[in-house]
Chain A
Amino acid sequence: MKNIDPKTITIKRALCPFCSFGCEFGIIFNDFGIKGVEYVKDGNSNGRLCPRGSAAAMYLDHPRRSTMPLKSGKAVVWSKMAKELRKVVGSPKSVAVTFDRNVTPEEYAAIVGFCDSVGIGYTASTYFEPEHNLRPFLEKPFAPADLDKAKIAFVLGDIFNQAPMSSRAIIEWKMKDKKNELIAIDSLNTHTAGFASQFLRVNIGTEPLLLLALAQENLDGVDIAKVTGIDARVVKELSNKIKNSSKGVIFASLPFGHTYDPGLYAESLDRMHEFSGMKVVPFVEFAGYEGSQPFVSIMEMVKRKKIKNLINFGELFPFYYPQLAGSLKGLNIYATSTLKHTDHTLLPVPLSLEKEGTVVTTFGKRKLTGNIEPPSGAKSVEAILSMLSSGSSTGKMPHAVEKKIDVKERARRIAEITETKKKSFKLVGEKVAYNFLGFLEGEILKINPYDATELGIGADDIVTIKSKYDAADLPVRITEDVDQGLLAAPAETPAVRGLFEYEIDSELQAVNFIPTEVKICRKG
């Protein structure tokens, strides 16, 4: 038997890639491999680490970690896979290449260069998370001094649960001066709202309308008080308070399936910024590349049978959007991934924790350390590309095209949705760090006590929820944090994410995942 010599323990520093806060931590290795995480005092978060960071070591050697290429769940050797991929890219006119948020700018440049060199013309983004709309706000990094100077701060969404590392600074700022005001806006009662001086509990998906009203935008024909559920007097008082105040911060998050119009959400934040001068600080997952191209055009090409093969670089697509499967029927999908999946053809790649490169955080651009070695079977994006084509080239990063949207029309649409009488339950997405990929705990469905009683559902019961795409069984938590007629669940695993409806935003050419009508019953 091998004795472990404590001296052989090594700690390798890494930048946490699981949200835009950019915490640093150490991964502890001993003779047998990964032992756990260590908290480093001089890091961005002073050693503190949220559930995602703590689960990082679990992720690195998770039993579901992909270490071999898989074809419909069956292992294939890399040489055979490379041969197949070379054949695929040999007909570049029938290939589309896509990339999601887990691609660094360096990887993105290599992918674009590869597409240019082999003649692949169809490229698009599969970063469908609604939060990608907040991505432009990361261009102006947040500095703690922004909050120090502030007298008022807005929080949109449950950021203390989504990015817990934000909590300390905000709570300290609020305790520092009794006059400092923290205003929470959300359709669900949350832990973050519990700390607020004022909680504006809006009707589901109407946050953008409240923001536009606060920014004194003229929304003809939309009764803000009726649609949002917030008294007109409250809106007016608050609006006058923030006008040209400039000393303020808006912390914003946008979980999957949480709002009807992510595009309008981002636009309304922009208008709030213009009106008040307040700085918008978004909390998103790590975002690497900066370009944005419409996936909708790829869907159209698939429909017209122009594309037969799709190669996705990243970790999310297509596994975390099962509802899109219908629109991608007949397509051979090759996708890079860090976890094993049984569908499609899977190419194992390093986690962001194991990569070198640049990422964008709330505090500006940071470098990934690349200190941690990926599993032996995983290949970097650059290695995969070099298997497919001789020579390497780098492409140019396209800049996101600014698109004007019809704010009034979109506001009217949300008002119409809100006014439509509800026939069934609406499922809303949440983002909870503790539910990270279901590693520590699976999703729990929140239901209002009145609804639970009506349906004969008791605490800890398992319920089945059905949407038009799929069904899932979840344990329930009965709580007044959700209004009657609403159900809320963190959308972390494909089983829950696959329930959410998607819409094509023709103006922005985006795919949006929105609050969804579902049926609920006790299991069995």
Chain B
Amino acid sequence: MQKRIVLDLDLCCGCRSCEAACKAAFKGEARIRHGDIAGVAYLPLACKHCKQPLCLASCPVEAITKDDNTGLVTRSAMVCIGCKSCAFACPFGVIDAPLVRHISQKCSLCADRDEGPRCVAACSSGALQWLSDEEIEQHEVGMRMVSKDLFFRRKA
């Protein structure tokens, strides 16, 4: 895979700009969602485009495919029958079970947009970043602690 979405949890302010960007672009589909770890953090959840995707394995109609070159796991809207097998198979729970327009909601890393995913472009605090493997290695993620408050953020 050429680039990945990287989450710097220290920076996420829980505004759901990412989710809004996704929902607005994909007509109501929230392909990135949020998890709320009560009292600790807000956690944007996006498809990890797994090396061996269980959603792909579970799909009875081969609507989900993996591009060997880019690593992108995509769902064909035309083939998907809305059986929710992928939603139940996903170990990260990033494919939302409720269907939109009778098909599952699957992140495509905004393959239609040259500049990368819209959730990253919209992210208000810069918590979501679009990085290559080399950039990730050089990037400091999760090393800074923003708050001293044990209650909500990790302690400094």
Contact = CB atoms under 8 A, between A and B. Distances in A.
A480 B39 contact: yes
Q: How large is the interface on B (under 10, 10 to 19, 20 to 34, 35 or more residues)?
A: 20 to 34
A36 B25 contact: yes
B16 interface: yes
Contacts of A193: 149, 152
Chain B CB count within 10 A is highest, among A48, A58, A192, A196, for: A48
Contact of B15 (A45, A167, A197): A167
B146 interface: yes
A453 B11 CA distance: 34
B122 A54 contact: yes
A36 B24 contact: yes
B20 A160 contact: no
B76 interface: no
Interface in B106-125: 115, 118, 121-125
B88 interface: no
Given A54-B24, A194-B149, A195-B146, A160 B15 contact: yes
A50 to B, nearest CB: 5
B126 interface: yes
B153 interface: yes
B53 interface: no
Interface string A162-186: 0011011001001100100000000
B66 interface: no
Nearest to B126: A168
B83 interface: no
A174 B15 contact: no
Nearest to A40: B121
Contacts of A47: 121
A272 interface: no
B81 interface: no
B19 A51 contact: yes
A437 to B, nearest CB: 12
Interface string B44-61: 000000000000000000
A194 B125 CA distance: 14
B20 A50 contact: yes
Contacts of A50: 15, 17, 20, 122, 124
Contacts of B152: 189, 193-195
Contacts of B123: 48
Contact of B149 (A48, A171, A199): A199
Chain A CB count within 10 A is highest, among B16, B39, B151, for: B16
Given A164-B13, A191-B42, A55 B20 contact: yes
A209 B135 CA distance: 49
A54 B124 contact: no
A37 interface: yes
A57 interface: yes
Contacts of A479: 38
A171 B121 contact: no
A161 B121 CA distance: 18
Interface in A53-94: 53-55, 57-58
B124 A192 contact: no
Contact of A161 (B15, B20, B21, B39): B15
B155 interface: no
Interface string A27-55: 00000000011010000010111111111
Given A36-B24, A54-B24, A440-B20, A195 B13 contact: yes
Contacts of B13: 160-161, 164, 167, 171, 191-192, 195
A197 B151 CA distance: 11
A433 interface: yes
A260 interface: no
Contact of A440 (B14, B23, B41, B147): B23
Interface of A: 36-37, 39, 45, 47-55, 57-58, 160-161, 164-165, 167-168, 171, 174-175, 178, 189, 191-197, 199, 433-434, 440, 479-480
18 contacts: A39-B115, A48-B124, A54-B21, A160-B14, A160-B124, A164-B13, A164-B124, A167-B13, A171-B146, A175-B10, A191-B42, A192-B13, A193-B152, A194-B152, A195-B146, A195-B147, A434-B15, A480-B39
- Which 7 interchain pairs have the tightest Cβ spacing? A51-B20, A194-B152, A164-B15, A164-B124, A191-B14, A39-B121, A160-B13
Given A39-B122, A160-B124, 20 more contacts: A39-B115, A39-B118, A48-B126, A49-B21, A50-B122, A55-B20, A160-B125, A164-B13, A164-B15, A167-B124, A168-B11, A168-B126, A171-B11, A175-B144, A191-B13, A191-B15, A434-B19, A440-B19, A440-B23, A480-B39
